[in-house]
Each structure stands twice: as structure tokens, then as C-alpha cells.
Structure 1
Amino acid sequence: MDSSSDDETAMIIGAATSALAAGYAVLEAYRTPIVIPRPPHINRDQARENYMDSILYGSSSYCIDQIRMDQDTFFRLLNTLTVRGLLHPTIHMSLREQLLMFLQIVGYNLRFRTVGGYLYRSTETISRYFSIVLDAILKLYPELVHLPNQSTPPEILGNQRYYPWFADCIGAIDGTHILAAVPLEIQGKFRGRKGIPTQNVLAAISFDLKFSYVLAGWEGSAHDSRVLEDALSRPGGLQVPKDKYYLVDAGYGIRNGFIPPYIGVRYHLKEYDGNPPQNEKELFNLRHSSLRTTIERGFGILKKRFRVIDNDPFWDFKTQVDVVLACCILHNHIMGITPNDRFIQEVIQDQQSQTTIVLHEQESQTQQGQTQCQSQQGLTQSQTQSDRKAENREWARKRDAIAHAMYVDYLRRRQNR
């Protein structure tokens, strides 16, 4: 055998040896267990307390970011729930943790699993205590959401544009549509004008931007006037003191205790913008719309502060209704302590950027709303439809008298400039 054959044989043997060595190394690597470093020990109780302390004893702005209210407002609410015996600490969760986790959920529409991660709690624990806090807050409704008194609101009393013309006005009423998650077989009833399932929530808001009445849970397809009739017919429901009234939009129609704007007349928001009112109806609509921004501000603040109101819900429908009521209760609590926080300022600035609104409701829609109101069973046996029509005409005359007197005063003031 020559030398070249020996060299080739040696090369083959060397290559085979290298391949076997590489394969053996791979097998050894798979056999050798991979050591994963153990995570550092976390004291969950201490971490939880530190997390809550950072919110409740940090800066006011950070606290508002996290739980939608400042520290003073939080602890006052906590004290109210405790003193009333509505919320109790347990061996598993403190009072402040129960309330804090609830506020984070409704403030940001967070899932239970997410909040559980922040607080080192199971999803089941967060869900259970969420229901406990929700029930406790709902019991504050009679204390925090109540009808206004019969005195003239200071927001009207101190403004010559409104006083004495709206001296008997105690607030504004309107409905808002909030996203609803309901079973497929009943979604048709909940689809409103936008074609998505919603619940129609009716609310009365006073001029200090507090809710004075809330009725949640109606299907999105229900006409506003039908919801109003239900609110008036319920025991302990919406009440209008004698000779007082709420401002409403044209869809409700004029009736005892409810005054809408004039139909077919521009609905201005600014009185002096190069185009002053030309008649008493325009002036009435202008000032009517200016006062009715109260309801828009109220809903706007509610949705900006509590993101759960304006996002897809993930609870059963009863809980969805209760959450809306709870947010209105929390809103009133906050307004009673800090009535000028950043959420309110943001909504007011957004509204001030708008200049004009044109009345969109047509006369046929208003007549439809009046007919639906009159067809409801909420009418008492002693009141016939003719009585209702006569009453409506009386309130129409009252609106005309207000508009006329207001316009006479308006012309006089312009002449005296």
C-alpha cells in the first residue's frame, strides 16, 4: 500500500473520530441539567403594603392617576364606609386594600387578573372583594344621590343671564348610552342608534355637577321619553317639586316639570359672537343650551374619571348596571370634597372649545316622544290624556312667558349700553 492511501485512511479515521466526539459532546449537553437561578424571595405582604403606601402616601397627582381621587377624598370615603358599617376588614384583606383595588378596576376598566398581579392576589380573591365593595358603595346612594332642594340654585341666583328667568329650574335631565354585554338572543333590544348593544342610562344633574337621580339598566333601543316615564312612575323614583322643573332636550317634549327648547330654532352656545339672538325664541334656546351643558359636563366627567363607563364590560348585566350606579355615587362623593379637580377642568375646557350647536331633533321626533310618554301605564287613574294635554299647554305658556320677559330685559340692556 502506497503512502497516499495511508494518508487518506488517516484522514477518514480523523474525521470519523471528530464526528463521534462532537456527537458525544451534544449528548452530554442534553444529559446535563440546565440550572435556572432561583428568583429572589418576595415578601408578598410587605410588597403589597409598599405598593399601597406609594399610592396613598405619595404625591397627590400620582394618587389621582392610580385611583381617580386624592388621598383625602379616599380616606374620607373609607371612613364613611367603615362608620356606616358597610365595609369590614378581614384576616385576608384590609379595608384600604379592598377600596383601593375596587377604585383601580373602575378607574381603568382593569381585569381582575391584572389587579391581582399588582396586589399579589388571586383572581378569585379580587373578584370576591370587588363584589363586597360594590354592594357597600351602592348602599350610599340615598346619602350621596338625592333630589335637590326647592331653593334657587346659586349658579342661577348669581347670574343675570339666568335670574330670575330660570329661578325655578333645579337641574337638567338627559340619557346617555353605555356599552352593554348581553347574551346574543337579546342583543336586538339593546341595539340603539349606533347599532351596538348599550344600556340607556337616564340621569338628573344639578348645577353643581352632582347626580340627583340615576336610572340605569334600560335597553339601548328604548326611547328616552319611555325611560323618563318609568323613572317618574317608580316608587321613590324621580320627583319634581311643585312649580319646579328640569331642562330637557326636544325629544322629551314639554310637560309638567320638564321644559325643552323651541323646535326649529338654532340652539346657540354663545350669545355674543357676531350674531346676537334675533327674537325671544332664539334667546331662550341660547340660554337653555348654556344651562344644559351641565348634563354634558356631568356625563363627560363621569366617563373621563371612570374608564369602566366607556369601555366594553366583562361582567354580567346586573353587575354592569350596578357599576354605573356606583360610579355616579363615587362621583358625587368626590364633587363634595374636591369640586374642581383636573378631570372637571379638562371637561370644561373641552366644552369651551365648542361654539355652536344646532338643534338636531325634528318636530316629528318630539311629537313621537310625547305620544310615547302619553301611552305609558305610569299615568295615574285620576289623570286622563286630556288632563295631560292641558297641563302641557300650561307649561308651554310658561315657557313662552319666560322667553318673552327674558327678551324684553335683553333688549333693554342692549339699549342702555
Structure 2
Amino acid sequence: MDGDAFDLNSQAPETDGFSGLQLYGNILSESDGLFDGRASGSVLPPYRPPCAGGGDARAATAAPYARQLLFDGSTSAAGNTVRQRANSAAAAPVRRQQLNNTARRRTNSQGAPRPPPPRAQRAPRTQRAPRSAVRGQASGSGAPFNNDEAMEDHVEDLASSGGPPEDDDGIMYEEEEADGGSSSEDEVISRCRNNLVQQQKMIVQLVPILGMYSDNYFLKLPKRVAGDSGLEWVQETLARDTQCYNMFRVERPLFYRLHNTLVRRYGLKSTKKLTSVEALAMFLWIVGGSQAVRQADNRFRRSLETVSRTFSRVLTCLLKLAHDNIAPKDPTFAEMHPNLENPAFWPNFNDCIGAIDGTHIKVVVDKSKRIPYLNRHNETSQNVLAVCDFDMRFTFVLSGWPGSAHDMRVFKDAITTHHHKFPHPPPGKYYVVDAGYPNRPGYLSPYRCTRYHVEQWHNGPPPQGMKEVFNHAHAKVRNVIERSFGVLKMKFRILLNMQRFPEDKQTRIIVACMALHNFIRESRIADREFEACDADENYNPMPSSAASTWPEDEPLVEDVNMNAFRDDLAHALFHEV
């Protein structure tokens, strides 16, 4: 091989546990000797001469020299050393020249095959001794060499002349393969050489694969020598109320209730190396502060693989919880919610059962999928549709739609594709929606092209006219879903800055956070964010920038009866002012 051949010793040293590759590296580094002939250590077996005394009497004379013509001139059994002047690599061009000369001699000037001369004109072929008996003779010679110098001179002459001697007519006859001629030996050498080249290429291809396998499964990092384990840090954090809420975003009694619920009903279990308490704390710490997996790796003194598996395991349990608690408490909506007894709402909104709206949650996507996920703020997000009641509980959620999708498009998918899960309003009941939805039976929207958003009333004059009075009351009723979104995002900060998870996993994280939101609300355990919302009906920890509007490229089709119902409500509210 060339000097710049692939060095296996540099790719897989013996100290790395691949002693076999060291041997292959030694073989490849000595490839010149392998390809030149039967060097010491060659994979080709040495020639063994037949026993002297059997067959031709000349075998006894040739026996001392039978092993002298090895491919690289190694020492014979008698101790005599003959250095071969022309090895197999040098003899290969000579052999090709012989074949070319033979082909030219057998064709005439026009290129047609030359007929062989009559048998009477042919020169008698030289009688040769059997090769099986005399291996040390030159091709065409009838007697063995007398000494080493004669054989060495003959080899030099043979290499310089380009082949064995020719007959009197100048025609060199090919040796019969049946006699064990040089052509059979060349084929054996050629096949061995090709096999070695193929084996070398295969080894060169296997070295990177073996290196990658070694890096992934054998070269493990040393175990951590941690001062405080993850469980010790969790126990220390749970012992202090303020630290527990800051790190896990829930109060300590709520943490234990959530843990017991997931263990008893939704399959959260401890493992040999990780308790269920530490697993739940790890999940809440990641979603509560938008922490990356590598940060959890450092905080909990666990490997990246352990953190990822633990996060997925808790996420699966919370999705089971979401299947049960993201639903209306009363599917028939028979009773009016106590919050609607407020004089500002009663009796005009007695039949309202909740609010519907969409919110954008930032996500991380590949560059090839970035365009569909860009929203109107030029950020990659998902448009998540949610339905909530007046307890600030989510009763339905649909996530996964890209940020460029309009609210109405997501809403149509919810009431058609997921109609079996969507909490449809019964006859006579309705949800309040913003101007991004049409005014249809079961869904009451405000007047368009009229001041509506809550923040617009705080910084402007009081409502004027029948339509503004209605929009102001409608916005206060629908504000429950805005505040629910605000509490959700402030409590679980991962919804403000999603980490680089797979896209489908990001969608499931959104649903899991809403399940946690409902669990906290249903537990009736004191929570700081919910208490602030209960104390002030206008409190919103994270108000939205603007309400959605109807797309200009789509025709607005509204129900006539629902428009008349809206006008009656507006008239009643305006005359009560």
C-alpha cells in the first residue's frame, strides 16, 4: 500500500480495549511485504517439497534447493539464503509484457490471427523435468542448479529478459496449466492480493462504526461524586414553604397530594435509582422555571438519559390525569354558576356556561417547518384553543395547530374532528367568544368595529352607546379565560419559553400543564396566583396584547336569531345603566 494508507493503530489503540484491531493494523502496515510475496508472517502458506527418493531420481538433487525460490527469498531449510532479485511485484509487469508479445506474434499485420506453422516445421519442444519433482529449476531448464550463485544469476537473467526462453521460430508457447505452470501461481497470487485488498477496505469501513459503538456503549463517563444528591435537595426544598413554591410552583401540601394521586391512580412508580418524589419534583422544576434537560442534569445529579426518561414517565402520568380532569364538572350545564349572580351580569348572562378563546404558546421547530408556525408577531408558536368555565378550569383543550392558523380554523377542527370530546352547549346555553368567531347559536360574540378589549376601557372614557355598553359587559364575562391563560403561563414558565423538545412532546407538555392547572384549582388548597384572581375579578397576571379579529379574506356569516338575541341583551344593558 501507499505511505498514506489508513492507520488503524491511530484510530483504535490497544489501550481502548480493541486488541484485535492492533493486529489488523500491524498486518496493514506490513502490506508491502504481503503484496510482494510470501514474507515472514505472510498469510500464504510456505511451499513444502515432496519427499526425496520417490518418483524421479532428480528430486533428491533438487530437494536442498526446493524451498529457496520463495516469493521474497526467505531462507531455505538447509540454511542457505538466496535473495530473489525480482519479486512478484516486479515480475507482474514482465508477465504482462510476455502476454502482449505472445498476442502480437500470433497476429499478422492486418490484425487477423496467424495460422500455426505445419507440425513438420515446428521446432521440437524442449523436454522439461516435472515441476512437482524439481522446483528449483528455471522454466525450460532440464537440470538443477549447481550452486546458489548459478541460481541467482539465472533469476537475474530471467527478470531482465522478460520471460522464459523462446523456441527456434521465435514463438513462445504458453505453459499448460495442467503441468502446474506459472499462470496458476499468478492466479493464486492475484486472488490472495484481491482478498487482502477487500479485507483491508472492509476493516477501514468498520473502524468508524466500531469507534462510534465504543463511544456510545463502552466509554462511559465516570459516575458523579456529588455533595448533595437530587433527592436530598428535593427534601431540603420541600421543608421550606417559600422555596417549595419558588422551585416547584406549588405549595407543599399540594405537592404531596399530587404525588399521592399520581402514584395511586395514574401509575407513577419509583425505580431502583430514583424515587417517585424526586421524579415529580424534577418534572415540576423543569416546567415551572423553563429549565433545560442539561440544567436538570446538573441540579439533580443525574445523567441526561435518566432525566429525559424520568420527564417522559411523569408526562405520561399527567396526560392520563388530563383525560379525567380537563372536562366539565356537569356535562348537562343544568345549574348556573355562582359567579354569574354578580349584579353586573345577572340576569342578562344567566345562560352563559363559559368562554372560548385561543392563545399562542411559543414552540421550537426545525427551520424547514418555521414558516407555518410563524404568527403575526413573527414568532414560532402553536395556536392552542381552550374552553374554560367560571371556576377558571379548562374543560377542553386542542393543541398542535401552527401559529399561522386562525382561531376560527382551529375552532372548526375542534367541533368537527373532536366533536366527541368537545363540550357542546345544550339548547338555550352559549359560550362567550371574541370577535374572531362568528355570532352563531351557542356562541355569543361582541359587536365588531367597536371598542371591546378590557385594557381599552381602563385607559379610555366610559362606554358610550348601546353597542359599547354590551361590549364592555361581554368583555368582563369573557375575561375569565384571559385570566386563566395568565395564571397558566405565569405558573408554568415553560409555556413562555419552550425548550428544544420534539414537536409532539411540546404539544403534550402544553396539555400536561393545563391538567396541573386544573388539579391545583380543584384541590382548593391556597395558591398565590389563584387567590389574587379571586380577590380581584379584573386581575390578570399576564394580559393578552390584543383580541383576535375575523379574517378579511373570509366572508362573515352570522345567525339572524343570534344577532337578534344580542341586540336584546344590548338594549337591556343600555337601559339599566
Aligned residue number for residue 124 of structure 1 = 305
Q: Does 1:52 align with 2:234?
A: yes
Structure richer in helix, relative to its length? 1
Structure 1 residue corresponding to 2:365, chosen from 164, 182, 203:
182
- CA deviation after TM superposition for structure 1 residue 212, in Å: 1.1
SS where residue 251 of structure 1 aligns?
A: coil
Which among 200, 211, 221 is matched to residue 404 of structure 2?
A: 221
Instruction: Return the match for 2:444 from 248, 256, 259.
Output: 259
Indicate the RMSD between aligned Cα atoms, in angstroms. 2.9
Candidates 460, 464, 476, aligned match of 1:290: 476
The 3 A distance-change label for structure 1 pair 225 and 272 is: closer
Measure how far apart 1:112 and its partner are: 1.5
Structure 2: distance between partners of 1:313 and 1:43: 26
Matched with 2:6 is none
Q: Provide TM-score, normalisation by structure 1.
A: 0.76
Structure possessing the higher relative contact order (Cα contacts under 8 Å, 6 or more residues apart): 1
Displacement, 1:48?
3.2
- Aligned counterpart for 1:310 among listed residues 486, 496, 499: 496
Q: What is the CA–CA distance in structure 1 between the aligned matches of 2:295 and 2:545, rounded to whole Å? A: 44
SS in 2 for 1:267: coil
Mark the CA change 1:181 to 1:76 in structure 2 (over 3 Å): closer, same or farther.
same
Q: Structure 2: which amino acid aligns with 1:56?
A: L
Q: How many Å separate the matches in 2 of 1:221 and 1:365?
A: 12
Equivalent in the alignment of 1:326: 512
The answer on whether the counterparts of 2:434 and 2:446 sit within 8 Å (CA) in structure 1 is yes
Deviations 1:90-136 (A, max 9, x none): 11211101100000000111111211222221111010110010011
The answer on whether the counterparts of 2:451 and 2:471 sit within 8 Å (CA) in structure 1 is yes
Match status 1:240 vs 2:407? no
Is 1:398 matched up with 2:565?
A: yes
Which of 275, 279, 286 lines up with 2:465 in the alignment? Answer: 279
1:272–1:72 CA distance, 2 compared to 1 (3 A): closer
Q: 2:325 aligns with which of 144, 165, 182?
A: 144
- Aligned counterpart, 1:172: 355
Contact residue 395 and residue 423 of structure 2 kept, 8 A: no
Match of 2:190 in 1: none
Task: For residue 250 of structure 1, give the secondary structure of its aligned residue in structure 2.
Answer: coil
The higher radius of gyration belongs to: 2
Deviation at 1:188?
A: 1.3
Once the two structures are TM-superposed, the CA of residue 343 in structure 1 deviates from its matched residue by 2.7
Preserved contact between residue 483 and residue 540 of structure 2 (Cα < 8 Å): no
Pick one of 314, 323, 339 that aligns with 1:155: 339
Q: Map of 1:358-397 to 2, 5 A cutoff?
A: 365=551, 368=554, 370=556, 392-397=559-564
State the 1:261 CA deviation: 0.8
How far residue 402 of structure 1 moved from its aligned partner, in angstroms, is 1.7
Specify the alignment match of 2:268 in structure 1.
Answer: 87
* Contact 1:249/1:260, CA 8 A, preserved across alignment: yes
Aligned pair partner of 1:102 in 258, 283, 301 = 283
**Distance (whole Å) between structure 2 residues aligned to residue 357 and residue 275 of structure 1:** 21
User: 1:33 maps to what in 2?
Assistant: none
Unaligned runs of 5+ in 2: 1-223
Name the aligned partner's letter for residue 411 of structure 2. L
Change (3 A) 1:320 1:350: farther
Query: Partners of 2:521 and 2:248 in 1: how far apart?
Result: 15
Offset, 1:313? 2.5
Give per-residue Cα distances to partners, 1:364-406, cap 9 Å, x unaligned: 63783746xxxxxxxxxxxxxxxxx6xx211111111222223
- Given that 2:482 and 2:540 are in contact with CA atoms closer than 8 Å, whether structure 1 keeps it comes out as no
8 A contact 1:264–1:359 mirrored in 2: no
Query: Aligned equivalents of 1:232 and 1:140: distance in 2?
Result: 23
TM-score when normalising by structure 2 = 0.56
Rounded to whole Å, the distance in 1 between the matches of 2:371 and 2:422 is: 28
Structure 1: runs of 5+ lacking an equivalent? 1-40, 372-388, 412-417
What's the % identity of the aligned pairs?
A: 35
Report the Cα offset of residue 83 of structure 1: 1.2
